[in-house]
Structure 1
Amino acid sequence: MRRRTTVQSLITVATALLLIVGTARSLLDNFTLKSNDRQIFQFYSEPEVYRQRRPVFASSKDQIGESCNVSGGKWIWDNKTYPVYTEESCPYLSNQTSCQRNGRPDSFHQKWRWQPDGCNLPWFDPLKLLDILSGKRLMFIGDSIQRGQFESMVCMVQSVIPEGKKSFQTIPTMEIFKAEEYNASIEFYWAPFIVESISDHATNHTVLKRLVYLDSITNQGKSWQGVDMLVFESYAWWMYHKKINKSYGSSDDIKEYNVTTAYRWALETWANWLESNINPLTQKVYFMSMSPKHLRSWEWKPGSNENCFNESYPIQGSYWGTGSSFTIMKIIQDILQELKIDVTFLNITQMSEYRKDAHTSVYGERRGIPLTKEQRADPKKFADCMHWCLPGVPDTWNEILYAHLLQNHRNFL
C-alpha cells in the first residue's frame, strides 16, 4: 500500500511539473513570436511550412520616410557595430576585395557608419532580408564594382544560414548564391555596359578595345526576364576614354562617338527593354549611381601629387572630385524620369566621394593576379583607386538597398 501511494505521488508530481514546464514554454514561445529579436536557433527549429509563412516584422525603425535623403549625410566612426562581417567569416570574398588578406595593415576603413541628415538607416537584419527574398531572386547587373556589391550582400547574409543550407555557383557571366531553405538566390550578372559589347565574356575581356552595340540588349535580357529584383549599375567601363567605338542598327556600321552620347543611347535601349519586359506589379528595378574614383590626391589635399594609397580617413566637408561625372548623372536622371515604369534610383555617389580611404589600392589584384612586392612598392602606378575593400563602403550601399527592399515588401503585404 505504501509503495502504491508513493508511486501515485510521484506520478502526480511529475504530471504537475510537465504542466508547469508546458505552460512556461507556451508563454515563452508566445513572447518569442512577439519579439522582433528573432534568434537563428529558434528559426531553424520550426517546421518548414511555418518558416515559409512567417511574415517580416517591421517596426518604425525600419522605415525611411519620403523626406529622408539617405544620400546626404556624413561618415561617423563606429568601431562597436562595424564591420558587420569580417574577411575570415565570409568564404565568398574574392581576392580582388580581400584587402587585409592581401596585406593591408589597417582596418580603419571598415569602421565608419553612414549617418544620413535628419533620419536613420534601419539596422541590417539578415533574417528579415531572407524573409523578403523567400522564393525570389535578387540580381546585381553590371561590372566588377557591382560584383563587389554582390559579394558584400552575400557576406552580410550568409552567416545566419547553417552549413549545408547554402551554396555558391559560378557559371558563364553569372555567380549565384542560394539560401536553400528559403528558395532564395542572390546573383551577379556580368554586363559592364548593360547593352551588349565585345566585353561581355565574364573573364576573357579587355577595357582597351571597347566596342558597344548600343541598340542590342536581347542576349543579356533573356537572363533578366522574370527576376524579382534587378539592381543595375554601369559607369566605369564607359569612362576609360572620352571616345568609344559603337555600332547602331548594323554590327558592320562601326563609328566612334563621345562617351556621353553613347551612354545616353545605351540607357535608352535599356529603358525600352524595361518597358517591354518588366511587370511592375511583381518586379522591382533599381539603378545604382556611379561609384567614384580617387586618382588625384591634390583634389582633397592641395599641393600633394599622390592618389588613394595610404589614406586612412574619409574626406571631411563638401567634396566632389573628377572621379564622378555630373553629365552622366544628368543623363541617368533624364532617362529615369522618362520611363513609364518606376525605377528606384540609389544615389551612392556623394557618400562614396568622401571615402578616399576605402579603395583596394595596392592590396587587390591586377587583371586577376595579386600585385607583386615590386608593384606594391610603386603605388603611384599600381594603386587601384576604383575598386573597394570588403568589408567596406559597398556594405553601406546594401544597407540603403535593404531599406528600400524592406519598404517595398511592406507595401506589398
Structure 2
Amino acid sequence: IKGTYRVDVDIPADDWINITKFYDVLIFNTGHWWGPDKFPKETPLVFYRGGKPIEPPLGIFDGLKVVLKSMSSYIEREVPSTTMKLWRTQSPRHFDGGEWDHNGSCLSKRLLEEHELDSWFDPRFGGVNKEARLVNSVIEEALVGTDIQLLNLTYMSEFRADAHPAIWLGKKDAVAVWGQDCMHWCLPGVPDTWVDILAARILHYFKQGEG
C-alpha cells in the first residue's frame, strides 16, 4: 500500500455543514470518485466511524452505502422541511474499448440507440461505463424513506455518446492535446437540458406550495 485516503462517514463536509438552513434549494451529488479505478488497492479509501477505522474494512461501494445513509440521515435531521432537496444522479461516460488509461476511446459521433444502452452501462455486462448505474443504485437505496428527491439525469445522457468535447474542439490534434475527455460535455448541449429539467422541477415544487 502506497497510502490511504480517510473518509469519516459520520462527519459532514465543512463546505456545506453551516449553510443547510440558508438556501431554499439544495442539490447533492456524489461526483466521480466512487470507481475502483480512482482508488486502487495501492491507495484505498479507508472508512472511519467515531474516529476509528471501520472493521472489517469496507470496499468502495459498501463504504459508499454507509456514507450516503449517514449523509441522508443528517440532511433529514438538519435541513428544514421547507427546503427543496434534490440528489442528482451520475453523469455517464462513454468509453469504448477500455478505460481512459487502458486504451479506451471517446470519439463517437453518433447517438446510441435505446437497445444499445444496457450493453454499454448495465453492471451485469461488466463494461467500463458501469459506474454510473452502480452508484445510482446505491443513491436510490439511501434515499428511500426520506424527502430527498431523485433528479435522474443519467438515462437521457446515456444516449449522448456524441456529446463529449475532445473531437469537437475544432483542432485536428484535439485528442492529443486534451486527451480522451469522456467526463465533460460540449456546451451548449447536454448540460443545458439538465438545467431546463432542474428549473422545471424547482418551479413545479414551489408552485405546488411544497416549499
- Structure 2 residue runs without a partner (length 5+): 122-126
1:236 Cα deviation (Å)?
0.8
1:262 alignment counterpart = 63
3-state DSSP of counterpart to 2:188: coil
**Residues 54-73 of structure 1 correspond to what in structure 2 (within 5 A)?**
none
1:355 pairs with one of 160, 176, 196: 160
- Structure ranking higher on relative contact order (CA contacts 8 Å, 6+ apart): 2
How large is the RMSD of aligned CA atoms in angstroms? 3.0
1:10 alignment counterpart = none
Letter in 1 for 2:202: L
**Residues 9-408 of structure 1 correspond to what in structure 2 (within 5 A)?**
210-217=5-12, 219=14, 220-239=16-35, 240-241=38-39, 243-250=44-51, 253=53, 256-280=57-81, 282-297=82-97, 306-309=104-107, 311-318=108-115, 319-320=117-118, 321=121, 322=127, 323-325=129-131, 326-339=133-146, 342-361=147-166, 376-377=175-176, 382-408=179-205
Do the aligned residues in 2 keep the contact of 1:245 with 1:257 (CA within 8 Å)?
A: yes
CA distance in 2, matches of 1:308, 1:412: 44
Do the aligned residues in 1 keep the contact of 2:21 with 2:80 (CA within 8 Å)?
A: no
Runs of 4+ in 1 over 6 A off after TM superposition: none
Measured against aligned partners, the alpha-carbon deviations of 1:225-253 in whole angstroms (never above 9, x if no partner) come to 32110111114112123652222211x63
Letter in 2 for 1:307: S
TM normalised by structure 2 equals 0.75
Over alpha carbons, which structure has the higher Rg? 1
CA distance in 2, matches of 1:396, 1:209: 38
Do the aligned residues in 2 keep the contact of 1:359 with 1:385 (CA within 8 Å)?
A: yes
Do the aligned residues in 2 keep the contact of 1:291 with 1:324 (CA within 8 Å)?
A: no
CA distance in 2, matches of 1:402, 1:330: 24
CA distance in 2, matches of 1:384, 1:275: 36
Identity in percent: 27
1:275 Cα deviation (Å)?
1.6
In structure 2, the CA distance between the partners of 1:226 and 1:216, relative to structure 1 (3 Å rule), is same
In structure 2, the CA distance between the partners of 1:265 and 1:245, relative to structure 1 (3 Å rule), is same
- Structure 1 residue runs without a partner (length 5+): 1-207, 299-304, 365-372
Which structure features the higher share of strand residues?
1
